Each structure stands twice: as structure tokens, then as C-alpha cells.
Structure 1
Amino acid sequence: MRGIVRLGLQSAVDVMKAGGEPTRLRLIALLAASDLTVTDLTDILGQSQPRISRHLKLLGEAGLIDRYQEGAWAFFRLRQEGEAPALIRDLLRHVSKTDSIMIRDGERLAAVKRQRAERAQAYFSRNAAEWDELRRLHAADDNVDAAIVDLLGGRSIDALLDLGTGTGRILELLSALYRRAIGVDASRDMLAVARANLDRAGISKASVRHGDILNLPFDGQDFDLVTIHQVLHFFDEPEFAVREAARMLRPGGRLMIIDLAPHALDYLREDHAHVRLGFSHQFLSETLMRAGLDVEKVLDLHPSHTGEPGLTVTIWLARDPRLLIAAASEDAPQTLLAGRV
């Protein structure tokens, strides 16, 4: 459980000023529930774009919201980390859920989410046959999901990064375990599907971002679990993606890769843009070790059907071996890093 928020007097006043205006408090409540654009917010609040943009600027200057670009669109959300956002979340808890304005905002937010879901479903429907064909070939999704959860051991996850998040499947699967999560994908269409799925599941502690997993827009050492689910076979040089993922890990953090074992289904190159026809235990284990990680477990999940070629799914779980060594003496409170350079 989080302790009491401690801010300096002026910082506390600044946060209260930023949130202490009706429109801005409504914006904060909306951005605590979903990632939204200025257009979304103008539709919900019925106010002009310049007015909404000005309020968002003030909230950003107060350190309460994050802004991230996705093509021509800018998305906003309530920042998840920090004392200022924690204080404003505490304030939100004291706003009545039966307030008529907040109820109306919630209804309009639900309408925005429905529109998102309809657009995402249209894209999903256009590609459903292709995805269903691939699912038919490999181990059942339920078996893979169960193996992922089992290998993680039920440990709580402070911060999860899902690379190549696709439909947000991993963000949904592990939602009971993490405190916050970010999914990254290069496809804006897939991000729309992921947002719709997170909305449907009521998961507000996860967000998705457009980005290149070979050049991630985050500081390193910020996540205690990074996942790469059925992505590496699209890369000619997956080593670079593994190395970038390893850079994101905190000392002691874990990297989980779920991908295909070596196979001979060459048509997947043309029909489904697969660059690599699976990975051997040796290849990915050596790749992980070269990235400075210790391989802890490797698990194969074979297709359940018989009589036709199928795809085996392999899960690799590796750990950053560095240890945090906290100085015991109050006279030397610094923290030392030992292990991977």
C-alpha cells in the first residue's frame, strides 16, 4: 500500500492550483480512466479545442499528465508515477461518483470508447482470418497463456513493458500482477485494437504507445518485466531487439520471450511476412547471454493437433543478474550496482 504523499508546501499548492478548477479536475478524472486526444476531450466536455489545450498545458506544467505523439495525433493520460499525480488521485477519490457532471462525462467517455471499439473491430475483422490460421497451427492460446503465468510464478510486477504489444493480449493476461504497464507497437491499427481491448476489460493502469522496439523512447532500467510475444520472427536481426529489451530492465528484472521454435513452413515468409522461421534454444539463449542476461527457463509447447505440420511455441525466461547492494550504514546511504555492465 502506498504511504502518505509528501510534498513541499509550494509543490502542494501548485498541484492544488492545477487541479483546483472544474474543467481541469474533469480532465484529470477522464485522463485517469483512459488515454485521450484533444478531439476526444472536446467531444466529451463540449468545450473549444483552444480552451482544452490551454488546460492541458497547465496540467502538463504541473507534472500531472503525460503527452505522447502517435502520428498526427497527440494522446494524453494522467501520469502514473510521482508524488504530484498521487496527490491528485487521492483528491479524485473524494469526488462523488453520483455528481451529475461526472456522470455525464463518464457517459460521453463510454461513447468515445465505443467508437474506438467499432473502428478497432473493423480492422480486426479484416485480418481475423489470417490470425485464425496462425492460431490453428500452433499450441493453443490457453495453454500458452497458462504457461506464461506459471513461469512468472505469480510474483507481483511493479512495471511491465510489452514490446510488439499487438492486440494487448499480454497486458490483459498479466493485469492482475502488475501495478503499471506500457505496450509498444509500430502499427497504429494494432494500437487501436489494443486500446479498445483495454477499454473493454476496464484496465486503466496500462497504456499503449507507438514506437520502434529497436529504439525505445524510454530511459533504461525502468521495468522489472519486459515481454516480447510473437514478434522476433519479423526481424532479420532479432539480436538488436533483445539487446534493447535488456536495456530496459532494472537490476534483477526479467525478460520473457514467446516465439516459434524452428519450423519448415516456408510459406509464412510470403503470406505472413515472417522473416525468421523460428528460433532454436541455442540461438536465443546465446542471444540473451550476449545481452548480459542469465537464462533461467526454456519451455516448449507443442501443437495439440496431429496429422499436419504445426508450430511449436517456445518460451524463454531470462534475468538481469545485477544485484542492488544497499549500503547498510546511514553514513553511506548510496546504492551500488554489481554485475552486468
Structure 2
Amino acid sequence: MTDRPCIAVDAMGGDEGLAVMLAGVARARRRFEDLHFLLVGDEAQVRAGLASHPNLSAHSEVVHAPEIVGSSEKAGQAIRRAKKTSMGIAIDLVKQGRAAAAVSAGNTGALMAMAKLSLRTMKGIDRPALAAPLPTLGDNDVVMLDLGANTECDAQNLVQFAVMGAAYARIVFDLDRPRVALLNIGSEEQKGTDEIRDAAAVLKEQSHLPLAFTGFVEGNQLARGQHDVIVCDGFAGNIALKTAEGTARFVADLLKRAFTSSVRSKVGFLISRPATELLKHHLDPNNHNGAIFLGLNGVVVKSHGSANENGIATAIGNAAKLVRADLTRRIAEDLAEFERAAA
């Protein structure tokens, strides 16, 4: 399964609808020819959509799901309908072993609740965390977690997040000892809450683990490329993520306005267009799409709800890479090593 991964896709999730989801899966299939897909959704609609993607039809199966999880639906309500919804069935396919990973662009809260209930957390993990790569000025992106799954975390949660995030970074960035930092309001040791300081004290002693703890990092340093993993609670992480996304859109809109303000500006835009296109590519969230719930007994990837077909393909590619690298096993090994040292 890890050599030729089968990915279950919630074809009905996301803001852009079935057509964009199928176009994204088809693009992923062109990028990664060894992938196979289980497309979960209303069978009649999915098969009609597949008519536009003959290459995808030959490498996918349709799994019927009569219901859809609404974007604003509460997690508790969605769980009660899990066995009938495209999201719930996609996760269950991972539990059954029919799929190596599930990808959905649907309701984040419902996806988290369903995945945790169906797949359960790994041994040694109290809470799963939502992690995703964010762009930086360095050679690699930075993995940040938690991005909203847990609004309140104790020191033990943060340490577990650090271990899981480091395992993730070793795979996606091909690193031996990822640099791990805790998000804080200052770099000084006395700064921050008790939970953050206690987590730092524990991580300083983990020299045996395949990670390098670098201390605290402030919000204005997130994109400098000086760290590979940044750990925080879900409340701070979600605010940081949304602020970064908003800043990226602000910069793009500001540049567009500046370059169209006069004839001279338009000429300047033509001269600097290669540089602005590179900036646009770097800031486009579709090129970094695909957050993963770390700490579950299975791979579940959350695509941004507004992702275009390139974003969907990127999320699927991330899922396949984590499956091939056996992420769950590698996290389990690191956790076991941490527990042995703690004992």
C-alpha cells in the first residue's frame, strides 16, 4: 500500500464543489502516476464528473455516500451522521485498510472529531494536532502546529507536538535533526506562560531525540527560515496562520494597486514581472496546501476549503509522501524513545 498508495478523497467537501475536487484529483494523478483513488460522494454526480477526466476514471473507484457534512455544521451533529457522509466514509476507508490516507477540504472541526473517533490517537499521544507547512525565506518551509485543533494545551501536549512535528519535518524536508522552537512572546527564558516554560525545560533535556530544540521564537520571526518546526497551542497557532494568510493577500493587493496607479508604474511592472510572479507563486497558499492531523493511527489530510485544483493536488501529494515515508510508524518510534528516556 505504501509503494502504490490508495487515497480516499472526500469528493463532496470544499467550498468550490465537486468539479474542482475532481480536477484536483486528476492533476494529482498526472503528477503521481502510481496513485489510486477512492472517490467518496454521491455516485451519480461523481460518475458524471469523471466523464471529463478519462485518465482518472481508469485509476479510481467510486464509493457512494448519500450525505454531505455542511461547512457550518457542528462536529457533534456531523459525528452522528458519519457513516452516511462522504467525509466520514473516507475516514472509515482508512480504518478498514482500504485506503492509506484520507483527504478532505470540508469542515475542519467535523473532520477532526470524526478522525479522532474513528482512528483513535496513537499510544503516548493525549491529543492530535493540526500541522501544516508555511512559506519562509529559507530553503524549506516551516512546519507549524497546532493550528486550531486544541485551543488550550499543557506542557505535555506541547512536548508531544514537538516530537510529532519533528518527525513530520524529517520526512517533508528530508532533515536529520529539525530545528524546533516554541512560539512565545519573547525569546528570554522567563517569558511566556508556565506551560510554555515547562515544555521548554523538558525539550532541553531531549538530546537523544532526532530534533534540535532552539528555544523560543516570536511571531515576527516565523517566516525567517531559522526554524523547521514551530510549536504552540491551537489558539495562538490559528491566529498566527490567519494573520500570515491575511498579510500575504494584503501584500499582493498592495502591489497590484501600486503597479496600476500610473503609466510609469505599469512600465515598472512589466520590467519587474518575473520577480513579482515568483513572489506570487511563493505566497500562493495552494502551493503549500495540506494540513495533517498528527497523532492519529492513520493519515488524514485537511485541504483548505477554498483551494483550487492545484491546491487539491498539492494536498494529495503531501498525503502520498507521508504514507510512503510511513509517518505513523516513525512518530511511534520517536514517542517510544521519548518515553524510555523519561522513565
The TM-score by the shorter chain falls in which range? under 0.3
Which has a greater percent of helix?
2
TM-score using structure 2 length: 0.25
Q: Which has the larger radius of gyration?
A: 1
